[in-house]
Chains A and B, each alone.
Chain A
Amino acid sequence: MTAMREFVSRLLGLFRKPALERDLDDELQAHFDMLLDENRARGMSEAEARRVARIRLGGAEQIREAHREQSSLPLLETLAKDLRYGFRQLWRSPGFTLVAVLTIALGIGMNAGIFSILDALALQPISVGGQKLASIYPIFQGHRHRNVHNSPSMFSYPEYKAYRDQNHTFSGLAGYVPFVITTAGGERPVEIVGSLATCNYFDVLNERPALGRGFVEADCPAAGASPVVIVSDDYWRNTLGADLQIVGKTISLNHSLFTIIGVAPHGFDGTEITPSAFWAPMEMQPALLPEDQFLDDVDLSWMALLGTLKPGISLEQARADLSVITGQMQTKYPGTMRLEVRRAELFNRPEERGYIFAVGTVVLTAVGLVLLIACANIANLLLARAAGRRREIAVRLALGASRRRLIRQLLTESVLLALMGGALGTFISFVSFEALMRSVIAHLPPGAPPISLHLSPDARVLAYSLLLTVLTGVAFGLAPALQSSRADVNTSLKEEGVDAAMRSGRIGKLRNSLVGAQVAVCMILLLAAGLLLHGLYRAQTIDPGFEMKGIDTVNFALTRQGYSEAQAAALHEQMKERLAALPGIDALVQARNTPLGDEHWETSARLPQSGTSLQVRYNRVSPNFFSILGIPIVRGRDFSDSEVQSGARVLIVTEAAAREFWPGQDPIGKTLEVFGDTSPLLEVIGVAKDAQVDLLGQEHPRFLYVPTSLKESADDVFMVHSTLGDAATQREIHDAIHQIDPQLLFTVARLEDNPENFRAFSRIVAAASGTLGALAMLLASIGVYGLVSFAVSRRIREIGIRMALGADGRDVMKLILGQAMRPVAIGAATGMICCAGVSRIFSVLLFGVSPIDPVAFLLVPAFLILVAAVACYVPARRAMRVDPMVALRYE
C-alpha cells in the first residue's frame, strides 16, 4: 500500500518536475538564510558565516540530485532520455537506419512467418463452437498386436462407448473417424473425403447446423436402415449449388442413398487438416468403409476422441478418470495401454507431433541462421559507426558518464532499431504468409489430399516475434556497445588516435570474426541448398531401373466404392478382358500397387531356420509384370498363370533381398515365412534385378514380389502397355470403362508421372532452401563488402605510404584481399565441416546423392568464395587507385 502510494507520487513527480525543483530551491534558500542568521548571531564575520552555513547545509548540487532521484522514477526517466537520444541518432543517419531496419524486418519476418505456421499446425488449440476441447490418445507400451485403420493413436468404437458412458469428468465426449474416402455418385462420380461421427458430435462441438439439424438418437440406428448425412458448407455451396431446399434430398455415397438432414455451419470443416465434406453416423461404416467390419472390433485404432471437460476439471483429473476405465477394459493385454489427455490442437497425435516438431526445428534453425547473418551484418555496421562516434563516446566518458550507463544507452539504441525492424517484419509476415502457404499447398503432389489451414497469428506468435526481436537487438548491439564504450579517452580525443586504435585494435578482430561467422552460416545454408538441388536433379533424371514409357495405369478401389465382393470380382474380370482387347494395347498386367505409387505395403519376413525377422516392402503382381516393366529375372523364372490360379506359395525376391537373407547362397528353392503365416512357407522361384519400385533413389531395395491372389485381387490396379500414345490410350480406356459402369470411379495416369510423388516435395524443399541460401549469400556478401570497404577507407594513409615507398597497385590489392579473405576462408571451412556433420537429415530428399556429395561440396564453396572475392575486389579497387600524394595529405 505504502509502496504503491510512493510509486504513484513518483510517477506524478515525472510530470511536475520544474515545480518540485523550484520548491526545493526555495526551501534550500530559506534553510541557508536561517543558518546565516544563526551564525551571525554567534558573532561570526559575514564571510565566515557564509562559509560555515554552506558546510553545514552540504553540497547543493548533490542534494538536488538526491532529491531528483527521490522525486520521480530515475530508471524510466533515463530510458525515455535514451530513447529520445537513440531516435535522434537514428534519424541523423537515415541510410544506415533504413538498411538496418529492412535487414531486421526480413530476418524477423521470416522467423515469425515460419513460427506462425508451426503455431497453427501444432500449438494453437482447436477452438470450435467457442469452446476449448480436450483430445485423448492411447499410448501403447511393450509389444502387442492391435489393428490400425488410421493412426495407432486412435480408439475402437467399443472403447469409445465405454469412455463415453463411464466417465465422470467430461460434460460431453464425441468420436469421429476422419479421412473416409468415398465415391459421391452423380453424372460424374467424384471422390470426396468425409467423416464418420458419433451421434453427439455436433452437440459436443457446439456447432449448430446452418440448415436443417444435427444428429438425433434416432439417426444412429443399429443397422443403418435409413442413412442420413450432414454435408459441409463448402460442399453444399460448390457441389450442391447452395440449394436452400437441400434438406430432405438425397445424395449417393458409395452407391448407397443418404438423406441430407443438415448443412454444417459456415467455416466449420472438422478438426483435421483435411476438410471434411460430410459427416455420417458411425453406424454407416459398412456402407462407407466396406473393407471390413470395424464397429464391433474391440482392438482397432480408427476413431479420434474429442470432449469438453466439466467445469473445474483439469486434464490430469480427466486422464485419471478415463484410465480407470482403460484398466477395466484391458483383459487381453493388461497394462500395455496408457492414456494421454491433451488440449486439442490440429496436429495432435503423438506420432504426428514428433514429425512436425522435428521438421519445424530444422526449418526454424535454417531461418534462425539467416537472422543470425543479418545480425552479424548490423553488428558490423554498428562497429563501423562506433568508429565514427568514438570521439562522441570519449567526450561523454571524459565528462563522467559511467561505462554501464553508456552501454545501456547504446543497447537502447540497438534494441530500438530491432523493434522497428521487428514490427515491420512481423506485420509483413502476417499479411504475406497466408498467401505463401496457399502457394506451397498448390505445389503439393497431385494425389495429395486437400488441406485447409488457417493462419491466425495469436499472442504466442507475437510473443515469439517480440522475444526474437529483443534478442536480436541485444545480439547485434552488445558486442559493438562493449567495444566502443571501452574507448581510451586519451587516445580517442586526439584525432590521430582514432586510426591507430582502429588499425591495431580489437574492433578489427571482432569485425573479422563476425564476417567469418557469417560466411560459415551462409556456407551451411548454401551447401544444404546445393545438396537438395542435386537431389532434385537426381530425382528428375534418375533411371529407376524399370521401363515407364508407354505404360498407363488404371487405378480404382472397387470394394471401397461399395461393390460387394462378388460384384467387384466380376467387374474386375470384365474390365481386364475389355482393356486387354482394346486396339493398340499389347500387354496388360495387374498388381496390388504401381511401382513408385503412393501406396506401400509392408510385412515382416522370417527365415524359418535362424528365426531372423526383417520388415520388408512387397507387391502382389501378375505374371508378365517384370516383362512389361523390363525388369530382368536374373535367376529362376517369372510366376505362371497356373500358380496364380492354384494360389501356389511362391515368391520372387530382389537381388538385394536375396543377398540379405541368404548371403553367398543360391536363393532359388529357399523358403521364407511371410504375412505371419507358417503353413506352408513361401518358396523362392526367381530373383529379379534390383529396381527402385518402392522409393525413388533407393538403389538396393529389400523387396519381395508375391503372385496376385484370386481372393483379394478386386482392388488390384491394371498396367497396360500401348503403342498408340498416352492420350489416345487414356481416352480409349476411359470410354471402355464408362461403358461397363458409368458410376465407377477410377483414374488413368501415365506411369511416368509416378516419380512426381517424390519430386514435388523435393521441389518445394529445394526451392525453399535455395531461396534461403541466396538470401544468406546476399547478406554475407554485403558483410564482406562492408568489411573491406571500411578497412580500405581506414587505411588510405598507410596504403599511400606503401605506394610512395614503391608498392604498386597489385601489391596493395594482394595485401587487402589477403587480409579480407582470411576470415572468409576460415568461415567457409567451418561451415563445410558443420554441414557435413548434419547433412544426413536430408537423405530422404537426396535420392541416392551422398550427404557429402563431392559435386555440392566442391561447387558451392567455390561459388561462395568467388562471390566473396568479388565482394572484396570491388571496394579493394579503390585502394589500388590511391594517389600517394593525396593519401598522405588525407585527414
Chain B
Amino acid sequence: MIERKAEVLQGTLDLIVLKTLETMGPMHGYGIARRIEQVSRELLSLNQGTLYPALLRLQQRGWISSEWGASENNRKAKYYSLTRAGKKQLAAEAKNWEQIAAVIARFLQPRGENVR
C-alpha cells in the first residue's frame, strides 16, 4: 500500500508559515521548511521552493519582514520575522481556522450524536 502525503491546503500555507515564525522567532526559508516537515511528521508534502512566493506575498501584505543574516553554518541567508500586523493576522486566522475545523469535525461526527 502506497502512503499518500496530504497536499498543503490552499490558503493554509500562510497560516502555517505565520505560526512557525511565531514559535521559532526569525528564521530562514530552509529552517521554515524543515520545521513544517518536522511538525507535520513528514505527512505534508511540500516542494520547499513553493515557500518563496508565499513568503513574498506575506511580506507584500506587511505581515512579515525580512533581513539578510548569517546561518548557524555561517552561510548568508535571509531571515524572516513576524511583524505586529502579522501577529494580529495570525490570531485572527487561527481563530477562523479553529472555527472551520470545529464545523467540519461536527459534520464528520457519527449521525446519532449530531441530532440534539
Q: Give chain A's interface residues, CB within 8 Å of chain B.
A: 2, 5-6, 9-10, 23-24, 26-28, 30-31, 33-35, 37, 56-60, 62-63, 66-67, 69-71
A34 touches which of B30, B53, B57, B78 (Cβ 8 Å): B30
Q: With A34-B71, A58-B48, A66-B50 in contact, is A27–B29 under 8 Å at CB?
A: yes
**Contact between A67 and B53, CB atoms less than 8 A apart:** yes
- Which of B30, B47, B73 has most chain A Cβ within 10 Å? B30
**Contact between B56 and A70, CB atoms less than 8 A apart:** yes
Given A31-B33, A31-B49, A63-B52, 17 extra CB contacts under 8 A: A2-B61, A2-B62, A6-B57, A6-B60, A9-B60, A28-B49, A30-B76, A30-B77, A31-B29, A33-B75, A34-B28, A37-B73, A56-B47, A58-B48, A59-B49, A63-B49, A66-B52
B54 and chain A: residue at smallest CB distance? A70
Distance A34 CA – B27 CA, assembled complex (angstroms)? 13
**Contact between A5 and B61, CB atoms less than 8 A apart:** yes
* Contact partners of B60 in chain A: CB under 8 A: 5-6, 9-10, 70
B47 touches which of A34, A57, A71 (Cβ 8 Å): A57
Distance A10 CA – B62 CA, assembled complex (angstroms)? 12
Distance A696 CA – B60 CA, assembled complex (angstroms)? 77
Q: With A5-B62, A34-B30 in contact, is A28–B52 under 8 Å at CB?
A: yes
* Contact partners of A63 in chain B: CB under 8 A: 49-50, 52-53
* Contact partners of B56 in chain A: CB under 8 A: 67, 70-71
Report the 8 A-B pairs with minimum CB-CB distance, sorted nearest first. A58-B47, A58-B49, A63-B49, A9-B60, A34-B30, A66-B53, A70-B53, A6-B60
The distance from the CB of B13 to the nearest CB of chain A, in whole angstroms, is 12
Distance A62 CA – B47 CA, assembled complex (angstroms)? 11
A27 and chain B: residue at smallest CB distance? B78
**Contact between A24 and B61, CB atoms less than 8 A apart:** no
* Contact partners of A10 in chain B: CB under 8 A: 60
The distance from the CB of A273 to the nearest CB of chain B, in whole angstroms, is 58
A31 touches which of B48, B53, B61, B73 (Cβ 8 Å): B48
1/0 contact string of B35-76 vs chain A (CB within 8 Å):
000000000000111101100110111100000000101011
**Contact between A34 and B75, CB atoms less than 8 A apart:** yes
Distance A770 CA – B76 CA, assembled complex (angstroms)? 79
**Contact between A60 and B49, CB atoms less than 8 A apart:** yes
The distance from the CB of A785 to the nearest CB of chain B, in whole angstroms, is 55
The distance from the CB of B34 to the nearest CB of chain A, in whole angstroms, is 8
A-B contact pairs, 25 of them (CB 8 A): A2-B61, A5-B60, A6-B60, A9-B59, A24-B52, A27-B29, A30-B28, A30-B76, A30-B77, A31-B33, A31-B48, A34-B28, A34-B30, A34-B75, A34-B77, A35-B48, A58-B47, A58-B48, A60-B49, A63-B49, A63-B50, A63-B53, A70-B56, A70-B57, A70-B60
The distance from the CB of B36 to the nearest CB of chain A, in whole angstroms, is 12
The distance from the CB of B91 to the nearest CB of chain A, in whole angstroms, is 15
B48 touches which of A23, A26, A33, A56 (Cβ 8 Å): A56
A65 and chain B: residue at smallest CB distance? B53
**Contact between A6 and B61, CB atoms less than 8 A apart:** yes
Distance A67 CA – B30 CA, assembled complex (angstroms)? 17
* Contact partners of A26 in chain B: CB under 8 A: 76, 78
Distance A730 CA – B56 CA, assembled complex (angstroms)? 93
A67 and chain B: residue at smallest CB distance? B53
Query: How many residues belonging to B are interface residues under a CB distance threshold of 8 Å?
Result: 22
**Contact between B50 and A58, CB atoms less than 8 A apart:** yes
* Contact partners of B30 in chain A: CB under 8 A: 30-31, 34-35
**Contact between B62 and A30, CB atoms less than 8 A apart:** no
* Contact partners of B76 in chain A: CB under 8 A: 26, 30
Distance A5 CA – B89 CA, assembled complex (angstroms)? 15
Distance A34 CA – B33 CA, assembled complex (angstroms)? 11
- Which of A6, A27, A33 has most chain B Cβ within 10 Å? A27
* Contact partners of A28 in chain B: CB under 8 A: 49, 52
Distance A70 CA – B47 CA, assembled complex (angstroms)? 17
* Contact partners of A57 in chain B: CB under 8 A: 47-49
* Contact partners of B75 in chain A: CB under 8 A: 30, 33-34
Distance A26 CA – B76 CA, assembled complex (angstroms)? 9
* Contact partners of A33 in chain B: CB under 8 A: 75
The distance from the CB of B81 to the nearest CB of chain A, in whole angstroms, is 15
**Contact between B78 and A23, CB atoms less than 8 A apart:** yes
Distance A58 CA – B28 CA, assembled complex (angstroms)? 17
* Contact partners of B28 in chain A: CB under 8 A: 30-31, 34
* Contact partners of A69 in chain B: CB under 8 A: 53
The distance from the CB of B96 to the nearest CB of chain A, in whole angstroms, is 15
Distance A66 CA – B62 CA, assembled complex (angstroms)? 19
Distance A70 CA – B62 CA, assembled complex (angstroms)? 14
* Contact partners of B71 in chain A: CB under 8 A: 30, 34
Contacting A at CB under 8 A, from B61-110, are 61-62, 71, 73, 75-78
Distance A63 CA – B33 CA, assembled complex (angstroms)? 15
Distance A30 CA – B28 CA, assembled complex (angstroms)? 10
* Contact partners of A23 in chain B: CB under 8 A: 78
The distance from the CB of A14 to the nearest CB of chain B, in whole angstroms, is 13
* Contact partners of B48 in chain A: CB under 8 A: 31, 35, 56-58
Distance A63 CA – B60 CA, assembled complex (angstroms)? 17
**Contact between B62 and A67, CB atoms less than 8 A apart:** no
A20 and chain B: residue at smallest CB distance? B56
Distance A2 CA – B48 CA, assembled complex (angstroms)? 26
A62 and chain B: residue at smallest CB distance? B49
B37 and chain A: residue at smallest CB distance? A56
A66 and chain B: residue at smallest CB distance? B53
- Which of A6, A34, A37, A58 has most chain B Cβ within 10 Å? A34
Distance A5 CA – B77 CA, assembled complex (angstroms)? 26
Distance A23 CA – B56 CA, assembled complex (angstroms)? 11
Distance A26 CA – B29 CA, assembled complex (angstroms)? 12
B29 and chain A: residue at smallest CB distance? A31
The distance from the CB of B32 to the nearest CB of chain A, in whole angstroms, is 10
Distance A30 CA – B57 CA, assembled complex (angstroms)? 20
Distance A23 CA – B60 CA, assembled complex (angstroms)? 15
Distance A534 CA – B97 CA, assembled complex (angstroms)? 81
* Contact partners of A2 in chain B: CB under 8 A: 61-62
* Contact partners of A35 in chain B: CB under 8 A: 30, 48
Distance A368 CA – B77 CA, assembled complex (angstroms)? 64
Distance A71 CA – B53 CA, assembled complex (angstroms)? 8
A13 and chain B: residue at smallest CB distance? B60
The distance from the CB of A27 to the nearest CB of chain B, in whole angstroms, is 5
- Which of B33, B52, B76 has most chain A Cβ within 10 Å? B52
B52 touches which of A37, A59, A67 (Cβ 8 Å): A67
* Contact partners of B50 in chain A: CB under 8 A: 58, 63, 66
* Contact partners of A9 in chain B: CB under 8 A: 59-60
* Contact partners of B53 in chain A: CB under 8 A: 63, 66-67, 69-70
B50 and chain A: residue at smallest CB distance? A58
The distance from the CB of A11 to the nearest CB of chain B, in whole angstroms, is 10
Distance A56 CA – B75 CA, assembled complex (angstroms)? 19
Distance A60 CA – B76 CA, assembled complex (angstroms)? 19
- Which of B53, B59, B75 has most chain A Cβ within 10 Å? B53
A69 and chain B: residue at smallest CB distance? B53
* Contact partners of A5 in chain B: CB under 8 A: 60-62
A34 and chain B: residue at smallest CB distance? B30
* Contact partners of A59 in chain B: CB under 8 A: 49
Distance A237 CA – B44 CA, assembled complex (angstroms)? 90
The distance from the CB of A40 to the nearest CB of chain B, in whole angstroms, is 11
The distance from the CB of B14 to the nearest CB of chain A, in whole angstroms, is 12
**Contact between B49 and A34, CB atoms less than 8 A apart:** no
The distance from the CB of A378 to the nearest CB of chain B, in whole angstroms, is 42
A24 and chain B: residue at smallest CB distance? B52
* Contact partners of A60 in chain B: CB under 8 A: 49
A12 and chain B: residue at smallest CB distance? B60
* Contact partners of B77 in chain A: CB under 8 A: 27, 30, 34
A59 and chain B: residue at smallest CB distance? B49
Distance A771 CA – B53 CA, assembled complex (angstroms)? 61
* Contact partners of A30 in chain B: CB under 8 A: 28-30, 71, 75-78
The distance from the CB of A438 to the nearest CB of chain B, in whole angstroms, is 58
- Which of B57, B60, B71, B77 has most chain A Cβ within 10 Å? B60
**Contact between B73 and A34, CB atoms less than 8 A apart:** yes
